Structure 1
Amino acid sequence: MINSFQIQTKRLIGSELKQVRQLIDTRLQCRNPELAQALQQMASHGGKFLRPTLLLLVARAAVPKDWTSATRSRLIQLGASIEILHMATLIHDDIIDDSPKRRGQVSVQTQFGKDTAVYAGDLLFTQFFELLIANLANDEYLQINALAMKKILDGELGQMALRYHQQQQIIQYLRNVNGKTAALFQLAASEGAHFAGADRQTTAYAARFGQNLGIAFQMIDDLLDYTDQGKLNKPVMQDLATGVYSLPLLMALQQPATAKELQPLLEQPLTHAIEQQIKTIVINSGALDEARQLAQRFTQKADQWLAKLPDSPAQRLLGQLTQQLMQRTI
């Protein structure tokens, strides 16, 4: 069902989002038929274009005036670049996790094999870099994009280092999420403001908005493993199966009595029965409420930074975006 947010988004940036999608389709062309098919499958099962949407809405909000044709073209290309980067990280994540599904469909690595999946991810990275070089040849944002990629990698490496680690602290979780998820949200918001012509202070506000939104987004994603599986486009409890302890489980492990219950289960090979036992213990521990409260804190932080942007239809729409992402209604 199309809701008010989607209608207003289409009115404000629908034309630009359409061109982002068209540009991505053009960039996914290659001479290898199997690789081309894998890339087109990834694109056709595409996500919600959250990061390009964020970039374009922040651009509208940070500088509420009509764009020049040059500004519009650059924002479209940067929106495509950030979605392509996101797609590349998803493919590589699926290879590492041996994930059978992505976005509710068979993953690239499952259908086409790991070799094709690696090449698909690599090709997407090259397209990302080509778009950056074309648009940011002598701009400080070339380095900012490189730093964002480093943060993403650092977050993933930090998460990998803590697999099956029951003494992991919430601060370690936050540090990893700030990289592997929030870095792209922060980059999208920052680029949207900067390339729309915002000053440094406004761009900094936008970046902090995107960062906190990204952290809250990941926390809610973690909660959905335990609450509303129908809204996930990945196998349920996949993180647990790969030794990645998401926020609700970490919250439960902070409680000595609950940790004592969970410890012997986490040390056994994961079966469906054990998975359900773990899930029941986490739910009964009250950890979901604690995780939800922490997510809400970061949502509120995002709203506080958003409030520093000029009042406009786009700024108010970003407020709706924040709430709907937290409720997973889009």
Structure 2
Amino acid sequence: MRVHQMWNGYPDLKEDLSVVLKLIESHIRVHNKTVETTIKELVHSGGKLLRPAYSLLCAQIGPDNDKDKAIAVAAALETLHMATLIHDDVIDEADTRHGISTIHSKYDNKFAIYSGDYLFCVCFTILSKHATSLAHLEFNSRSMEKILSGELEQLDSRYRSAVTVKDYLSRVSGKTAQLFAVSCYSGAIESQASRRHTMNAWNMGHHIGMAFQIMDDILDYQGDCNTLGKPVMADIKQGIYTLPLIYAMQANPGAFQPLLDKKSSLTDEDMVSLTELIKKYEGVEKALLLAQRYTDKAIKQLNKLPDGPYKEKLYQITAALLNRTV
């Protein structure tokens, strides 16, 4: 099973993540073999598997370290994440992810939507078999509702130049941070960790998710198509205005408005002008400072968790997310 190279320094975790992928694949059984093959290709497309990794590590917080159960919960969470990615790509009209063609670009939107819906079903099939309690299952159902609400909020705000930092953070809280929080919380609760420690895990995951998305949005301005595996500055082209742009616009809204008024008609020259304006008004630098603050908040919650070998790994992985280039 193909597991991202970022886990090469964590051989035990890498092996567990490989088992997570195998478990997901074992639940994908579709009569239409084209659909089945396409979904399995997504499973092995080389994603970072951050959410299941955090879940697996947080499953070591409490006294009950049931590896099989921890892997099953991690698999359910990654399946949920993959389902949202498929739907994201349809909404964003993205042609590639991780450097390979998206499902809707290879086939069509209907095909992609049904594939995403199928993965939602797989997620809850796995959870229903392995979750400790019905309350946990219900909790994840509510979490999925919040994730989808974040996606709808993003869709509703397209090409709205009046978006504020508060609007952006609210959107990220549902769209990205929720699933990181659920991943850490689910691992902790399945390990029978105390109520206090499960909430520490939840808060840690939330802050990690906020920092992760801010960094992801920063990289949209700094990276290139080959390293990111997706088009650069794709968000602006789709009318999704993220933190570097929002911060830069606060300094001089009038400089940006004529460009943003072009919406989907932005030219390559316009994109260069926007990049220069964002650099001039230090949008990226200000966004980096906020990502650092969320990372610091995550480390503060991590410090409150019980000691154990898992803790140093959480430190290292969380710190690395702030310094990543892809």
**TM-score, length basis structure 2:** 0.93
Letter in 1 for 2:211: A
Residue 183 (structure 1) aligned with residue 178 (structure 2): yes
Q: For residues 146 and 40 of structure 1, what CA distance do their matches in structure 2 show?
A: 24
Partner of 1:276: 272
Identify the structure with bigger relative contact order (alpha carbons < 8 Å, sequence gap 6+): 1
Q: Which amino acid aligns with 1:316?
A: E
How many Å apart are 1:138 and its aligned residue?
4.0
What is the letter of the counterpart of residue 45 of structure 2? H
Once the two structures are TM-superposed, the CA of residue 6 in structure 1 deviates from its matched residue by 3.1
> Per the alignment, in what secondary structure is the counterpart of residue 261 of structure 1?
helix
Q: In the TM superposition, what whole-angstrom CA distance separates every residue of 1:151-171 from its partner, at most 9, and x where no partner exists?
A: 101111111221111111101
Q: How far did 1:135 drift?
A: 2.2
Indicate whether 1:17 and 2:11 are aligned.
Answer: no
Identify the match of residue 318 of structure 2 among 301, 304, 322. 322
SS at match of 2:221: coil
Q: Count how many residue pairs are aligned between Structure 1 and Structure 2.
A: 321
Distance verdict in 2 for CA 1:57–1:5, change over 3 Å: farther
**Structure 1 spans left out of the alignment, 5+ residues:** none
Q: State the match for 1:243 in structure 2.
A: 239
The Cα of 1:106 is off from its aligned counterpart by 0.8
Which range moves more in the overlay, 168-177 or 129-138? Answer: 129-138
Q: Structure 2 counterpart of 1:34, which letter?
A: T
Which residue number corresponds to residue 287 of structure 1? 283
Q: Counterparts in 2 of 1:100-115, with a 5 A limit?
A: 100-115=95-110
The match for 1:82 among 70, 74, 77 is: 77
Is the CA contact 1:5–1:321 (under 8 Å) kept in the aligned structure 2? no
Task: Output the CA distance in 1 between the equivalents of 2:318 and 2:30.
Answer: 37
- Partner Cα separation in structure 1 for residue 167 and residue 87 of structure 2: 22
Within 2, Cα distance between the matches of 1:143 and 1:107?
31
TM-aligned CA deviation for residue 108 of structure 1:
0.9
Deviations 1:282-318 (A, max 9, x none): 1121111110001100000000000001222211110
CA distance 1:244–1:329, change in 2 (3 Å): closer
Q: Please, what is the CA RMSD of the aligned residues?
A: 1.9
* 1:192-224 C-alpha deviation (Å, 9 max, x unpaired): 111112011000000000000000000000100
State the AA in 2 paired with 1:327. N
Residues 162 and 100 (structure 1), Cα distance of their counterparts in 2 relative to 1, 3 Å cut: same
Deviation per CA, 1:41-95: give whole Å up to 9, x if none: 21121301111100001112x13x673xxx2221111111000000000001111
Divergent runs of 4+, >2 A: 2-9, 13-16, 135-139, 228-231
Aligned partner letter, 1:6 = W
- Structure 1 residue 265 and structure 2 residue 259: aligned? yes
Q: 1:44 to 1:7 in 2, by over 3 A?
A: closer
Shift in CA distance, 122/3, structure 1 to aligned 2, threshold 3 Å: closer
